[in-house]
Amino acid sequence: MGEIAALSVAVSAFATLIAALVAIPGALWIVYGRSPLRGGLLAIFTVGLGLPPVAVGLAVAFAFWRSGPFGWLDLLYTPYAMALAQIVIVVPLVGTLAVVALRGNDTTLSMQLGGLGIARRRTLRLLAREVAPGLAAAMLAGFGRAIAEVGAAQMTGGNIQGQTRVLTTATMLAVGKGEFGEAFSYVAVLLGIVALATGVALTLQRRWT
C-alpha cells in the first residue's frame, strides 16, 4: 500500500511540476505577450480541457509501443510513460487556470508600481507575490486531476505490481477481483492525499495574504 501511494504521489507530482513549467510560461505569454499567436495557444489549452485521458493514454501507448515511433526508448510500462500522459492531460488545465489567475490582476499593476518609482526588480517581486496563490491553486487542480486519472495510467503504465501500480489502477484491479475492502482502502488513501494537498495549498494561500 505504502509503495503504491508513494508512486502515485511521485508520478503525479512530477507530472504536475513539468506541466507547470510548460503551462505557466504559456499562460504568462497569453496574458502579457503581444503576438497574435497567443489566441492559438489559449484555444489549444481550452480544447485540451476536454481531452479524454483515454485518448491521451492511447496516443502515448501507441507512440511508445515496441514497434511505435518511440519504441526504441523502451519507456512503455514505466512511470515515465505514465508521467508523460499525465503531463499532456494536466497542461491544459494548469494553463487555463493560470490564465484566469493572471487575468484577475489589474493589467496596469506593473505600470502603477512604476508610477510610484518602484524599481523593475521589486515590481516583478510584488507581481509574483500577487499571482502566486492563483498559480498555486492552478497547480493543485492539476495535481488533483493527475492523481485521480486512471485510463491513461492503465494503458501507459500497465499496472505492474511494484513498478507502475498506482492507487487508481490498483483500485480497478481490486474491484475486478471483487475485493471491495481493498478497493475502499486504496480510495481512502487517495482521498486523504487529495485532502492533504488541498489543505497545504489553502494554508499557503492564507499565509501569503
Nearer to other proteins, 102 or 193 (CB): 102
Angle at 79 between CA 52 and CA 169, to 5 degrees: 55
Site string for other proteins, 104-143 (x = CB under 8 A): --x-xx-xxxxxxxx-------x--xx--x----------
Nearer to other proteins, 31 or 189 (CB): 31
Nearer to other proteins, 85 or 101 (CB): 101
Nearer to other proteins, 65 or 208 (CB): 208
For residue 93 the three cell numbers come to 488545465
One-letter identity of residue 67: S
> Residue 165, by phi and psi: left (phi above 0), alpha (psi -120 to 50) or beta?
beta
Q: In the window 54-113, what residues touch other proteins (CB under 8 A)?
A: 106, 108-109, 111-113
How many residues make up the chain in this entry? Answer: 209
> Residue 94, by phi and psi: left (phi above 0), alpha (psi -120 to 50) or beta?
alpha
Q: How far is the CB of 143 from other proteins (least distance, A)?
A: 23
Question: Residues 97, 138: contact at Cβ < 8 Å?
Answer: yes
Nearer to other proteins, 7 or 137 (CB): 137
* Burial status of residue 157 (CB atoms within 10 A of its CB: 0-12, 13-18, 19 or more): buried
Q: Which residues bind other proteins (CB under 8 A)?
A: 106, 108-109, 111-118, 126, 129-130, 133, 208-209
